[in-house]
Structure 1
Amino acid sequence: MSKLLTVAMPCYNVETYLERGLSSFADPRFSDDVEVLIVNDGSTDSTKEIAERFVAAYPSIFRLIDKENGGHGSGINAGIAHATGKYFRIVDGDDWVATENLVLLLERLRGIDSDIVVDERREVDMSSMEGDVIRFPDYIETDRELRFEDVCNERDTESSITIHTLTTKTELLRKRGIRIREGIFYVDYEYIVKATSFANTVTFLPIELYQYLVGNANQSVAAENWVKRYAHHETVVREMLLFAESDGFSEPVGRYVTRKAQLIVNTHYNVLLIFDKDRKRGMRRAREFRLWLEKSHPRFAALTARRYRQAAVLHYLGVDADKLARIKGR
């Protein structure tokens, strides 16, 4: 490995945002330790030209990987394949990092050998450009190496491990042959679960690094987009169920993976029964999915039966995505 950290930046038509993201890495202090792989996923705007400009100006930091369009998962896969860093992480093309805090992270990574490292993020509203740092809960022990199986089921610890806060040993990703589904949305969840489930050790660092832009109606997590791409989400659900029923996990990690699979099934119930404004279509799809789940994965059908009934009741009461958010206090 020639670098300490590889940052993969999957990019598709992000000319509006890309310069801000790349500029946050364009610092001579990163020349020896950081490589940013700009994965141009078949963009049709000026994304490639912007990337080429940064490669020319900072060739020791930036590399351009130009490929045909294959979706976010293909960008992650390309990043893993081309990485030369001891550690690997992902920054989307419309987001950026806090440059000075990246300096701090690199200082810590030099003295760490954990399989995964988790830091903190800031969610930035795209209208006001203001936002809040999502801090670790008080019960998470920071600044020391922990066994992953000792903490992965502790309260809500796993909610702090997101694609925006996760740094993983490149060797672990390759040794386990981790590849993400291509050509679909919602693969972030797949990456998080697969990248963490094989980790023996983890270190939590209270460093705010990732600057996550929120409030864009075109984001894949917007309720209407969940419905439009429900088949994509269902593909990830099925992948997670297969992964959860594979062998080789310790008992604590097995519980962690089971819970993660259960959570994404519950989210799918929301997509079908609550987010879809065409209530009849949503119910039909939910029943079809439920029948498949009972036949193919009866253990998870039993684990999620109560949540299915709850979502069905909310469906009949006319609860939609906005009402559900209010119920949850969001």
Structure 2
Amino acid sequence: MKLLSIAIPCYNSENYMKKCIDSLLIGGEDVEIVIVDDGSSDHTAQIADEYAAANPTIIKVIHQENGGHGEAVNTGIKNASGLYFKVVDSDDWVNDAAYYKILETLRNVVGGNQTLDMLISNFVYEKQGAAHKKIMSYKTAFPQDVIFTWNDVKHFYKGQYILMHSVIYRTQLLLDCGLELPKHTFYVDNLFVYQPLPYVKTMYYLNVNFYRYFIGRDDQSVHESVMINRIDQQIRVNKLMIDSYDVYKLSNKKLRHYMISYIDIITTVSSILLIRSGTDENFEKKKELWRYLKKQNKHLYYKLRFGLLGRYVNLPGKSGRKVSIAGYKLTQKFFGFN
């Protein structure tokens, strides 16, 4: 059995997938790389097959009809034989030194007497044209180099969230929690991280800059204009996260607090993008999203609506919209998002 399965969802990725695959191949025989060709129309399938032919004990390729990023991740999970599972998008890559450290840590854990559910590491925003690369670090939030539980978690700052780029899950845990991402939907990486969290009992944090998250292409799914055009998909994910759990029934206070904070930021992102679009139709969608939250979970609605971010994105009138947009620009500049 492989130690780590890494799924690479690929859709028309011929221009950048080689850099991604090459960065992962150095993991050697401990690693299984599952390339999911999601109905590509360029040379993605051919490139994937060539890599598999040259590395038959490490790479497997699955060709499927286009189902979107989430369906490609679903396929990766279903076909993973490794004890642990990671998603690396085809335009991203990993740092070799941090990669070796992660594999060493997983080997040591597997050889020990404790089960590890989730490993967290840092990631770097490789923003095109940016002189300074922002690092998402978790050293203020987690103990380092030990297995710990939610009770040991320290303080999360605003903007400091466990994202798909930073997480490696135990494969069986993903199967046990029934994770099934929606087809033809972007932004499912938030659901991928969020839904398994109540099943996570043990964690390990490595303070290494492992994942390199490329950001800056005009056609990229996280580009602001693209996100606004696909806002219905963002809202869909937002609602699925709301529906996943009644967070107030979670017994662990720190887990509950973190998941509420996560829902808070995702709902804020949805709201800000709807405001930023500047259309009456999308402003109505924002109000409908908040009505949906109130209908599904009144306790959570009042917590978010009258919290700092909820007040911020629900200011009345055109002047209120301008304040929200100005704040979004500051957030965008600080965090390097979109």
Do both proteins adopt the same fold according to a TM-score greater than 0.5, normalized to the shorter chain?
yes
Paired residue secondary structure (2:221): coil
Is the 1:121–1:164 contact (alpha carbons within 8 Å) kept by the matching residues of 2? yes
Alignment of 1:258-297 (within 5 A): 258-273=260-275, 275-278=276-279, 280-297=280-297
> What corresponds to 1:41 in structure 2?
38
Q: In structure 2, what residue type is equivalent to 1:232?
A: Q
Whether 1:115 aligns to 2:114 is: no
Do structure 1's residue 59 and structure 2's residue 56 form an aligned pair?
yes
- 2:197 aligned counterpart, secondary structure: helix
Would the aligned equivalents of 1:74 and 1:180 in 2 still touch at CA under 8 Å? yes
Per the alignment, residue 26 of structure 1 pairs with 25
Q: Percent identity?
A: 26
Aligned length: 324
* C-alpha separation in 1, matches of 2:125 and 2:193: 19
Superposed displacement of residue 89, structure 1: 0.5
Residue 32 of structure 1 aligns to a residue whose secondary structure is helix
Q: Residue 100 of structure 1: which of 81, 97, 101 is its match? A: 97
Judged with a 3 Å threshold, the aligned counterparts in structure 2 of structure 1 residues 322 and 52 are, in CA distance, closer, same or farther, namely farther
Partner of 2:14: 15
Worse-superposed segment, 96-105 or 42-51: 96-105
- 1:169 positional shift: 0.5
Equivalences for residues 175-214 of structure 1 within 5 A: 175-214=176-215
Q: Does 1:161 align with 2:158?
A: no
1:5 is matched with which residue?
4
The offset of 1:315, in angstroms, is 6.3
- Unaligned ranges ≥5, structure 1: none
1:226 shift after superposition: 2.2
Instruction: Note if contact 2:247-2:260 (Cα within 8 Å) is conserved in structure 1.
Output: no
Q: Is 2:327 the counterpart of 1:324? A: yes
Cα separation, partners in 2 of 1:159 and 1:134, compared to 1, 3 Å: closer
How far apart are 1:80 and its partner, in Å? 0.8
The match for 1:254 is 256
- Deviation of 1:236 (Å): 1.0
Report the TM-score when normalising by structure 1: 0.89
**In 1: Cα distance, 2:158 partner to 2:106 partner:** 21
- Segments of 5+ residues of structure 2 without an aligned counterpart are 110-114
User: Over aligned residues, Cα RMSD in angstroms?
Assistant: 2.5
Q: Distance in 2 between matches of 1:67 and 1:315?
A: 47
Segments of 4+ moved more than 4 angstroms: 127-130
TM-score, normalised via structure 2 length:
0.87
Measure the CA separation in 1 of the matches of 2:302 and 2:132.
43
